[in-house]
């Protein structure tokens, strides 16, 4: 009965039928549980956590890459870091019900600081081993990204104007194009750059700077002002 309850609760959380339930049981055994195998080896989710951390990075990176075709490496790296940071993983683990699966014999005082976030990573590792990358990706996107992560708010925490304008266009289904070029001003040996942002093929912001990146930032700031988000 206990095993059946675990399986049914697991199916409800995952949204699919797991094959190797032993992997999922292991994902919910933190190091602080101090469990051992009959041979005396420690039994915990640290190895699954290690694997899940790498898989999770790949899932989030892929999601951001596909969602933000105009997003540069810096923008996507910052956004990914905010999503997978330990404190946020603790929150997400709680939202999908992971605490209920953690060994009830562990007292509050013996729990590690990020026990739930670690278990979420271990869970992703378990799904990867049990059903493959595609299933792990679908689980995280459907059960977590779409339900519990507001990418608009995540991006708005960044003073990076380019990040914010890209996120705004995604939210509002607006096509965005950056047109940047190098200029050589009279009397100056150093080149400068000018960037124009087009929203649905209409110019909405122009910026200049000593680098292409700076010009795009200034153009993004101007565009945000034009749509009254700054």
- Catalytic residue annotation: 53, 121
User: What is the phi/psi pair of residue 88, to 5°?
Assistant: -70, -35
Tokens of 22: 């032993």
List the Cα angle 113/119/123 in 5-degree steps.
165
> Rounded CA gap, 75 and 200, in Å?
21
CA atoms within 13 A on the CB side of 19: 7
User: What is the phi/psi pair of residue 97, to 5°?
Assistant: 95, 20
DSSP structural state of residue 227 = T
């Amino acid at each position: 009965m206990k095993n059946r309850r675990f399986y049914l609760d697991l199916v409800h959380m995952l949204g699919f039928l797991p094959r190797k339930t032993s992997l999922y049981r292991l994902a919910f055994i933190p190091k602080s549980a101090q469990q051992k195998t009959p041979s005396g080896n420690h039994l915990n989710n640290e190895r699954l956590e290690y694997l899940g951390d790498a898989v999770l990075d790949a899932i989030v990176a892929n999601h951001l890459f596909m969602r933000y075709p105009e997003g540069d490496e810096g923008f996507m790296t910052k956004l990914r870091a905010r999503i997978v940071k330990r404190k946020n993983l603790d929150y997400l683990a709680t939202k999908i019900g992971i605490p209920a699966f953690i060994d009830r014999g562990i007292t509050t005082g013996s729990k590690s600081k990020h026990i739930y976030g670690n278990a979420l990573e271990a869970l992703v590792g378990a799904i990867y081993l049990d059903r493959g990358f595609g299933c792990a990706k679908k689980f995280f996107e459907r059960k977590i990204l779409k339900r519990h992560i507001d990418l608009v708010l995540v991006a708005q925490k960044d003073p990076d104007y380019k990040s914010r304008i890209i996120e705004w266009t995604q939210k509002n289904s607006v096509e965005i194009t950056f047109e940047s070029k190098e200029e050589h001003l009279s009397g100056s040996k150093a080149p400068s750059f000018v960037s124009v942002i087009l929203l649905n093929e209409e110019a909405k912001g122009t910026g200049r700077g000593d680098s292409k990146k700076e010009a795009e930032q200034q153009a993004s700031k101007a565009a945000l002002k034009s749509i009254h988000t700054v």
